[in-house]
Structure 1
Amino acid sequence: MENESKEPVIDYQYKALKDRKSIRLLYLHTSSSYHQLPIEVSLCEFPIDACPNFSALSYAWSIDDEPVPSFRELLCDGAVIRITKNCEAALKRLRRPKQDQILWVDAVCINQADLEERSLQVLLMRQIYTQASWVALWVGDASTDIDEESGLPLSDLGMDYIHDFAVEIAERTNSGQDINQGPLYQEFIKDRQAFQYSESKVFTPRVRGLWDVFHRNWWKRLWVIQEVALAKEPALLCGLKAEPFHNLKVVIEALIRSAQPVEVLEYNTLFIAHTFHQFHVRHMIETGRMSTISPPGVKALDMLNATRNAQATDPRDKIYGILGFFGPPATDPENIFPDPDYKKPAAELYADVSRAIIVNTKKLEVLSSCYGFFKSTVPNLPSWAASWNDTPMQYFDGKIFNAAGSSNVVYEDSDDKLLMRIKGRVVDSVKRSGRIPESIGYSNEACIELWRYWWKFASALDSYPTGESVVDVFEDTLCWGSSLDYTRLQPGDNKESFDAWLKILIGADDTGTAAKHIFNGGESFKYAHRATSVTWGRNMSITDKGYLAMVPIVTKAEDKIVIFQGSKLPFIVRTEDGVSKLGGPCYVRGMMDGEFATEDAQAIDELEWFTLK
C-alpha cells in the first residue's frame, strides 16, 4: 500500500555548485516496498573527475498518454523536489530493497530553475554518460493492454520477443541459415500487408508488444540520443523487464539490412522508424564515422541533420542536446558551436550555428533545408537559418547536385546577427506557378488530382532549353532528379514505372479509380512512391527562360531563381526594398550541374550581393 505523507513540506533549496566542473549525484534510498511513496533521496556534489561509481537514467519527462506532465514529489533531505510521473516510475523501478543506488538524473541533479547552471551542466553531459557504469534506458511502465491468452502485458511479450528474436538471428547467422526464413522473422513480416489497411491490432500479441515498446515517447526525444550513443552499457527497461541494448541492435540491423525485397524493407523501416535516431547515431560513433571530419562544420551539420526529427521541448536543445558528441572548442576543432546559453533566443542561436557552419565549410549546404516562406516554430527565425526544430522538407540529398560548381561562398559580416550577406547570381525568374487549391491534403486521390494538373501545366511547353523532351524533364523533375535512396537518377531510371504511372494518370479513369490503380503496389506505384514525397509542400513552375522547376509551394510569379556561390542547389529568392528572403531550394533540370556556375575571379567580383533576412 502506498504511504503518502499529508504533512506540509517545503521546497528543496539547491546550493550553488562549488565548481564549473562539479555535478550532483542522487543517492536513491532503499525501500522494502516497490510501491512505497514518497521516494526518498539525498544529493551530494562531486568533481566530475572524482565521482564514485554511479549509473545514469535516460527517460522522457512525459509519457505517451500525458502530453502535459503531472508532477510528483520526491523527498530530498526532508524537502520536496517535484518530478514528473514518469521520472517517479523510473526511480521506483531502480530503487533497491537493501542498498542505496547512486544515480545521475537530470531533472533532480540539475537545478532546472537556474538557467546559468543548466547552461554549464550541458557541457558536462559527455563526461557524465561516458563515465556512468551503466545507463538505464527507461521507456515506461508495462502496457495496460493485456494479452488474453497469457495474461501478460503486451509490452512484456514485446520485450521477450526482442530477446528471442536476437537469439534466433544470432543462431541462424552463425549456422549460415537465411535470417528471412526464421520463425520469428516470419511472424514479424507476415501481417505487413494487412497492417497497411488497418492498425497494429492485426499483429500477433508478441509483435503488437514490440510495436508498443518501439512507439514509446522515449524514442522520440532528442536528449536520449546522446545518452544512448555515449553509454558504455545501456539497457532498455520497460516495466519490470530489461534487455541489453545490444540485443535491440541485433534485431534492428537484421530488419533494415538491404538483402530483402524492397517492399519488405520499407515495411520494416516504417515499423522501427521511431527508434532510428538512437541506433543510427550510436552506429556512427561505434564505427568511427564521427571521429574526425574535415573541414570543421561538416560534423556539426551531419549531427544536426541526423537528429533533426527528434523532439525537444526547448528548441535551443536541438543544438545543446548534441554537444556531448563534441569535445571542448579549445581542443576539438569540430566544435564550432557557441557555449550553451539558455538566455539567448532560439532564433539567434540557430542563426549563430548556421553562420558558423557556412563560414567554416565555405559552402551553403546548411541552406538546403531552409524554407523561409513557411512559418517556423521558432519566432523571428531568419529565412537563411536552418530551423532544426521543424521537420525538414527535403527528401533529397543536396550533395548529389552541383549548381554552383566548385565555388566557395562569398560572405560578408553584418552588424545585425539576424542578417546574412552572400554573393550570388540571378539566373532566371518564375514566370508562372501551378495553381494550388485553397487547401490540400496529400491523400492518394489528392496527389492524382495535383499530378494531373501539373502534367497539363508542363505539357504547355513545346520544347525545353536543354533539348530534352518535356516528358523526360517532367519525369525527372517530379522526382527531384533523385531516387528513393537519394542517389542521382541516371538516364532510363524509372522509365518502366513512369510509363505505367503516366498511362494511368492521363487515362480516362476517375480520380478514385486512378488512385487505386496507381497505388496498388504494382509497377506504377514505384514511381508514385518517390513522386509523392517530393510533392509535399511543393509546386511546379515554369520560368521566364522556359525551364520547368519544382519550387516551394508558396512561390509567386517574379520570384527570382538564384545560384549562390558555394551552393549545391538553386534557390527561390524574393527581394523587397533591398532586403531578400530565402524561399527555399528548387529543382530546375538544366541548372543542377554547374551550367550557370560562376568561377572566374573577375566574374565573381561582378556578382550581386544579397542581404538575406
Structure 2
Amino acid sequence: MSDTKRWIHVFLHKKNNTSNTEANLLKLREVSDWSWYYELHEGGCVLQMKARIPGAIDDSLVDAVKLLRKLGASGEWILSHHVNNTRRPISTAGRTVWILVGVLAWGQVCISYVYEPLRDNGAFTNLAQSTIFRVIPAKLARPAGRVQDKMYQPITGDREIRLLILEPGAREDVLECELVNAELSWRTRFEALSYAWGDDTTKHELKCSGHNIGVMANLHDALLDLRLPTQRRVLWIDALCINQADNDEKSKQIRLMHEIYSQAQEVLIYLGRSDVSVHGAIESMRWLDWKLMPLYVRQFLLSSNIGMASFFVERWVKMKPINHQDFSWDPIINLLRRPWFQRTWVIQEAVIPKHAKVICGGQSIAWAKVLRIVDAIRYYQSSVKRVPGYHLIYETISSVDLMRSARDNRHPKIYILGQRWYRPLLTGRPMEEQEDSKLLDLILMSRKYKCTHPHDKIFGMLGVTAEDTSSKFLEPNYEISEFDAYRNFVLWEIRHNKSLRVLGTSSQKSSRQRTSPSWVPDFNRLDSITGLTGSPFRGSEVDASAGMPMEVRESNDSTTLHIRGCIVDTIHTVGKKSFTDRSTRLSKRQRSDEQLSVYDQLQVNRGMIEEARDIWLEATKGLARGLGPGPGDRIFDTNVIDGRPLPDRSISPGWEPFLRVLFGDASVGSKSSMFIKEITTSFLRLTLVEDQLPEEYTKSEEVFAIKALGYFAAIARSRRFARTDMGLAAYVPMRARRGDLVVVLYGSKVPFVVREKGDGRYCLVGECYMDGIMRGEGIRFAEYENRDIELTLV
C-alpha cells in the first residue's frame, strides 16, 4: 500500500499526573519523523500528529499510543478520532468563506472579460436599439419655422443642437443631407463623427438643406464611406452642425460637446479613405489582437500586483516573436500614422463616449480593441521583439496612452468589491488615492497635438477634465485673442487650485506675443519639458517655500502678478550643452530602429554630462572653500583586474552628490532609492568610461543604463546645468542667463528663475531644480533685505 498523509488526534484525560506531558512530547519530536501539534489546557492535552503512515490507519493509531507509552507519558490516552486525508477538516465558516471567494472571483472574471468587452463594443446599445427604441419613439428633430434662404436655423434652447440627416445612396451618387434642430435627450438618437479636418484649401461640393456648400476632402470622404445604401443616417458633425462663422454660437455649442459625445449612440472615429498603404490593416489588427493575448494576460497580472504575479509571469506567460515573413506590420504602422491621432479635439471625442469604433474606408473595428492592441504593441516592442517602423508611431503610442489614461479615469473598470477593497484584498497594500485628470496636466500632455485655432489648446480639454470648468475664465470665447484665453487659464489655475504650478510652464513666444506678460506662456508652443512637480517627481518630498502660504494678487488689468517670496541667489554660470533625444532625431530621418543602439542613446548626451561635471566641480570648490578637501579628479576609481586597469563599479567617494544633482534627486520619496542609485551609476559608467570597459561589462549594464536615461531625460530636457554665486548646482530653464535671480515664491514647491527689469519688476523665466534649497533652506539662506518681499511679475 502506498504511503498516505494522515491525521491522528489524541486526547489525554487529566486522571493521572500530567506534569511531564510537555517534556514527553518534546522527546517525541526527537525520536519520531511525525510532524505534530499539541495544546495544553485544563482538561488535558490535545495532540495532533501527521505523517506518511504505511499500513492500516488503526494499526498506526495503536503505534502512536505505544510510542507515547514508551516515552513514559503518564495519564490515560484516549483516541478521539482520525481523518484519513491530506488536509485538516474545514469548518462550516471556512467552507462558506471559500465559496464566497470563488463566487466573487468568477464574478469579477465575468465582468472583466465578458460584460466590459460587450459594453465597450456597443452590444448593449445595439440590443436597446433593436428592442426598447422600437417601442419608444425617438424624440424627433424639430422642424420649426424655417428661415428662408438660410442653411442654419437659429438655435434658441439651452440644450438645442443641430443634427445632419445623411440621405441614402450609392457610392457614385451625389451627396445630399439636411440639417435639423433637435433637443438633447436620451430619446434623441444619433451618431457623432470624429475626424481630422485636414487641408482646407481643397473643397468638395455637398448639397445640404438645399444649399450647395464646399466641404473639406476628409469630411467628404467620411460622408461617402458612412452613407448607407437604403437608410438615412443621423449624424452630429462639428464642422457642419455648428455655424463656424458665428463665434457666439460656437462658444455655446462647445459647452455642450461633452453631453453630445456622451449621449451619442456611438462615436465614429474616421481615419480616412482606404488605400494601398493601409490595405488589410483592420484585418491585421484583429489577427494581432488574438496573437497578443499572452501580453494582455501578462500586463493584467503585473498591473494588478497580485502577490507573486511577477515571479510567475516571467516563467509562465511568454510570447513567441511574430515571424515577420508571415506578417507585415506596414499596414498597421501606416494606419496609426494617420493625422487623426495628432489632433487636439479628438482627445475628448475618444475619451468621453462609452463606446466608439474606428473606421477606415469600408471597414471598422472597436475603439476599445484598438486601445488594447496599441498598448500591447508597446509592450511587444520592449519585451519580445522590435517592431519594424516602431519609431514612426512613437508619437501615436504616446497619444493613445494619454487617451487611454483619461478614458480609464472617466470610465473606470468595475470591481465587485470596489477598487478600494479589490486591490488591498489581492496585494495586502492599501489603495492609493488617484487624482482626477487635471486640466493643466491634460494641456501639458497634449502639447504636441495640433489644432486649427490656438484657443483650442485650452477649450479642447474642457470636456475631458474632471475639474469644475464653469468659471467665466474658462468660457469658450473666440472673440478674444488666444493670449487672453491663455492668461485667463493661468489665472483660473492659480485661483481654482491655489497653486503656482502653472508658472513652471514655459514656451517660445512669437514676435507678436513678446509684449504679453512673462508669466503667460504660449500654450500652442510649449517647451518639451517635464514639470518638477509632475511625474516622475510627484513622489518627491520637495517644498521650497517650507509650507509658507501663497500670497498672490493681480493688477486691475490682469497683466501683472504680485507674489510674496524671497530672493535666494544669483546665477553665475549656465552651461551651453542641452539634452538631445536621439530617438527623436532618428524618427525625423526615418532611419531603421536597429540603428538606435544603446551606445548611440547614451553617447549623444556625453558632452552635456561632462559639462555638468565641470560646472559641479567649480560649484563645489566655491561652496566648500575652507571646509576641507573636495571630491577627487575621477568619478570612478581604477582597480587592476587580471592585469588590466578597469573603472570601479561603484562611484568614488565625494561624487555621490553629483550623481544626486545630475538626476534631480530622483530617489527622493522613492521606495527604490538603492535601485535608482544602481541604475544611475551604470548610466554614468557607460556614458563616460564605456571605452575602458570590456564588452561583457557593458552588456550587463545596458538595461540599467537605459532605465536611468528616462530619469535623466525628465530632468535635463529643455534645461541647462548651472551654478550660482553661492556655489549651488542647478538645472535652470534653457533661456536662463548669467545674472538671473533664483527666488522662492511662497506657496510654491520649487524655486523659480526671474530676470530683474528694475523698479521691483521681474520677468519670469521658469522653474528650476537647485540642490540645497528644495526643502525650504532657501528662505534661511536669503539675505535679510531679500526676505519676505513682494515680487512683481510683468
Q: Does TM-score exceed 0.5, indicating one fold?
A: yes
Output the TM-score relative to the length of structure 2.
0.62
Partner SS state of residue 568, structure 2: strand
Report the equivalent of 1:30: 168
Contact map agreement 2:566 2:787 (CA 8 A) in 1: no
In 1: Cα distance, 2:315 partner to 2:398 partner: 20
**Which of 426, 451, 465 in structure 1 is aligned with 2:609?**
451
1:475 aligns with 2:659: yes
Partner SS state of residue 754, structure 2: strand
Report the equivalent of 1:77: 209
Structure 1 residues 187, 84: closer, same or farther in 2, change over 3 A?
farther
Contact map agreement 1:61 1:69 (CA 8 A) in 2: no
Question: Which amino acid is 1:379 matched to?
Answer: Q
Deviations 1:35-81 (A, max 9, x none): 43x3110010112348631111011111xxxx565221211133122
1:395 aligns with 2:530: yes
Report the equivalent of 2:500: 364
**Which of 462, 483, 486 in structure 2 is aligned with 1:323?**
462
Partner SS state of residue 127, structure 1: helix
In 1: Cα distance, 2:436 partner to 2:559 partner: 19
**Which of 223, 234, 259 in structure 2 is aligned with 1:102?**
234
Contact map agreement 1:402 1:593 (CA 8 A) in 2: yes
**Aligned ranges for residues 384-463 of structure 1 at < 5 Å?**
384-398=519-533, 399=538, 400=540, 401-436=542-577, 444=600, 446-463=604-621
In 2: Cα distance, 1:228 partner to 1:41 partner: 25
Contact map agreement 1:74 1:82 (CA 8 A) in 2: yes
Partner SS state of residue 569, structure 1: coil
1:608 aligns with 2:608: no
In 1: Cα distance, 2:546 partner to 2:716 partner: 27
Contact map agreement 2:509 2:522 (CA 8 A) in 1: no
The answer for unaligned runs of 5 or more in structure 2 is: 1-148, 302-308, 415-432, 586-599, 632-653
In 2: Cα distance, 1:181 partner to 1:270 partner: 32
1:531 aligns with 2:712: yes
Report the equivalent of 2:335: 213
Cα distance, 1:388 vs. partner? Answer: 3.1
Question: Which amino acid is 2:509 matched to?
Answer: K
In 2: Cα distance, 1:571 partner to 1:262 partner: 43
Question: Which amino acid is 1:242 matched to?
Answer: S
In 1: Cα distance, 2:357 partner to 2:483 partner: 36
Question: Which amino acid is 2:788 matched to?
Answer: L
More displaced 10-residue stretch of structure 1: 442-451 or 534-543:
442-451
Cα distance, 1:248 vs. partner? Answer: 2.4
Report the equivalent of 1:313: 452
In 2: Cα distance, 1:541 partner to 1:326 partner: 36
Q: CA RMSD in A?
A: 4.3
Partner SS state of residue 402, structure 1: coil
Cα distance, 1:14 vs. partner? Answer: 2.7
Report the equivalent of 2:766: 584
In 2: Cα distance, 1:490 partner to 1:107 partner: 51
The answer for unaligned runs of 5 or more in structure 1 is: 1-10, 147-152, 191-201
Report the equivalent of 1:55: 191
In 2: Cα distance, 1:340 partner to 1:570 partner: 33
1:222 aligns with 2:344: yes
Deviations 1:457-495 (A, max 9, x none): 322244585999662232222222227xx9759754543
Contact map agreement 1:397 1:487 (CA 8 A) in 2: no
Partner SS state of residue 304, structure 1: helix
In 2: Cα distance, 1:474 partner to 1:262 partner: 35
Partner SS state of residue 177, structure 2: strand
Output the TM-score relative to the length of structure 1.
0.79
Report the equivalent of 1:594: 776
In 1: Cα distance, 2:160 partner to 2:292 partner: 40
In 2: Cα distance, 1:102 partner to 1:115 partner: 25
In 1: Cα distance, 2:701 partner to 2:491 partner: 46
Cα distance, 1:357 vs. partner? Answer: 1.2
Deviations 1:82-113 (A, max 9, x none): 22111111111111011110000001111111
In 2: Cα distance, 1:408 partner to 1:245 partner: 45
Deviations 1:238-270 (A, max 9, x none): 222211122223334555679x85998999977
Question: Which amino acid is 1:34 matched to?
Answer: R
**Which of 748, 757, 767 in structure 2 is aligned with 1:567?**
748
Contact map agreement 1:297 1:334 (CA 8 A) in 2: no
In 2: Cα distance, 1:69 partner to 1:233 partner: 33
In 1: Cα distance, 2:251 partner to 2:612 partner: 50
Question: Which amino acid is 2:399 matched to?
Answer: H
In 1: Cα distance, 2:395 partner to 2:257 partner: 31
Deviations 1:323-380 (A, max 9, x none): 22469x9xx5776743111011111111111111112222211222235xx3369935
Structure 1 residues 69, 211: closer, same or farther in 2, change over 3 A?
farther
Question: Which amino acid is 2:684 matched to?
Answer: L
Structure 1 residues 167, 57: closer, same or farther in 2, change over 3 A?
farther
In 1: Cα distance, 2:246 partner to 2:561 partner: 33
Question: Which amino acid is 2:351 matched to?
Answer: A
Contact map agreement 2:191 2:264 (CA 8 A) in 1: yes
Cα distance, 1:412 vs. partner? Answer: 1.2
**Which of 721, 742, 748 in structure 2 is aligned with 1:540?**
721
In 1: Cα distance, 2:565 partner to 2:437 partner: 22
Deviations 1:107-159 (A, max 9, x none): 1111111111111110110111111111111111224227xxxxxx1423443
Contact map agreement 1:219 1:274 (CA 8 A) in 2: yes
In 1: Cα distance, 2:722 partner to 2:699 partner: 24
Question: Which amino acid is 1:133 matched to?
Answer: Q
Structure 1 residues 518, 20: closer, same or farther in 2, change over 3 A?
farther
Larger Rg: 2
Question: Which amino acid is 1:394 matched to?
Answer: I
Cα distance, 1:566 vs. partner? Answer: 1.1
In 1: Cα distance, 2:547 partner to 2:378 partner: 35
Higher relative contact order (CA 8 A, sep 6+): 1
**Which of 509, 515, 520 in structure 2 is aligned with 1:375?**
509
In 2: Cα distance, 1:110 partner to 1:216 partner: 25
Q: Percent identity?
A: 24
More displaced 10-residue stretch of structure 1: 583-592 or 407-416:
407-416
Contact map agreement 1:537 1:552 (CA 8 A) in 2: yes
Contact map agreement 2:532 2:769 (CA 8 A) in 1: no
Question: Which amino acid is 1:316 matched to?
Answer: H
Contact map agreement 1:169 1:179 (CA 8 A) in 2: no
Cα distance, 1:19 vs. partner? Answer: 3.2
Question: Which amino acid is 1:159 matched to?
Answer: M
Report the equivalent of 1:3: none
Cα distance, 1:286 vs. partner? Answer: 1.2
Report the equivalent of 1:342: 478
Structure 1 residues 587, 554: closer, same or farther in 2, change over 3 A?
same
Report the equivalent of 2:640: none
Structure 1 residues 356, 452: closer, same or farther in 2, change over 3 A?
same
Total equivalences in the alignment: 558
Cα distance, 1:501 vs. partner? Answer: 3.9
Structure 1 residues 354, 253: closer, same or farther in 2, change over 3 A?
same
Higher-helix-fraction structure: 2
Contact map agreement 1:519 1:525 (CA 8 A) in 2: no
Report the equivalent of 2:110: none
**Which of 535, 538, 554 in structure 1 is aligned with 2:735?**
554
Cα distance, 1:219 vs. partner? Answer: 1.4
